[in-house]
Structure 1
Amino acid sequence: MRNVIYLILLITVFSCSKKQELPNDENNINSTVFFDPILLGATGVDASLKINSRFSECGEWGGHNEKIKIYSKERNYKDYFLDYEKTKIDCDKRDKNGGNIETVIFQKTIKLDDSGKKSITDYIKRMITSKVEERFPGNAGNSFTVINCDSTLVIKVYDSNSRNLKSYNTLLEELDLKNVK
């Protein structure tokens, strides 16, 4: 009986001494967590994540828009793409309904790498913080929106906090889209 107790203690000591590595951020540093490609159109459904920005260079009449659309192509479960569009407006010209006349001045499509995915994820996290801190700007603030196609994710920030503009510009720099005219 005594030998059985010693044997159990010996097995316990050796089984507990083995170091087991658990998954953590340091071990998974090269893996980027991002949206499921199925949620972004890989099944052929028109699905995407959109980041829209509306600026206020014309005061309460608004300003130019910038649009980012993130998607995965049909039957492609590993690649993500981004379409970027920037417009310009003339604050002194309006259409017959009184709205600003916009002209597309730049369009670009890029394939997202892990760095781009991380930049988008970081931007969304900053947007959540901005939403909590949002203060109503009156009639002349900038608007930043993140929304997926089925509206299960909607973050809209409308204020005049310069940190939101800086956050958006950081995203554009990281995606190499900042210096477009």
Structure 2
Amino acid sequence: MTEVTMTVNGKLMRGEVEGRTLLVSFLRDQLGLTGTHVGCDTSQCGACVVHVDGKAVKSCTMLALEADGAEVATIEGQADADGSLNVIQQAFQDHHGLQCGFCTPGMVMSAAALLKENPKPTEDEIRHYLEGNICRCTGYHNIVKAILAASGQEAAAIAAE
């Protein structure tokens, strides 16, 4: 076992991990941050997306030891300081960008990374960026609308799928 230390959602966290412990397992099992979901175990679905040092990563493909000393942000850290939904989360709610909700944490984290890189993405840019995230319920139309709305753009006129 090896000690790992990282700042998660602004708080210093420590734990003991085996060398093979995935970051998603550390977050869920040791830190109790179960909003980061394990959907496929093969890095195909994107339900496990978190930010490590400001970059979106699939936490099922990263060892916890690789995040030692890093700044990690999870879905639990996305709400505003008063506990209310942030602009992306609120847009997902307002535009019905979720159904079962399983993919939603990864989608929100991916959307946050996209909007940090590109504050006013086009519909095509959003769809391209989300290629690593799978939603089995919504068909993406409302997810794209939510991200456009979160970026401050008009979301009503996007093309139907």
Question: What TM-score bracket applies, with the shorter chain setting the length?
Answer: 0.3 to 0.5
Structure showing the higher strand proportion among its residues = 1
TM-score normalised according to structure 2 size: 0.33
**Larger RCO: 1 or 2 (CA < 8 Å, sep 6+):** 2
Structure showing the higher helix proportion among its residues = 2
TM-score normalised according to structure 1 size: 0.30
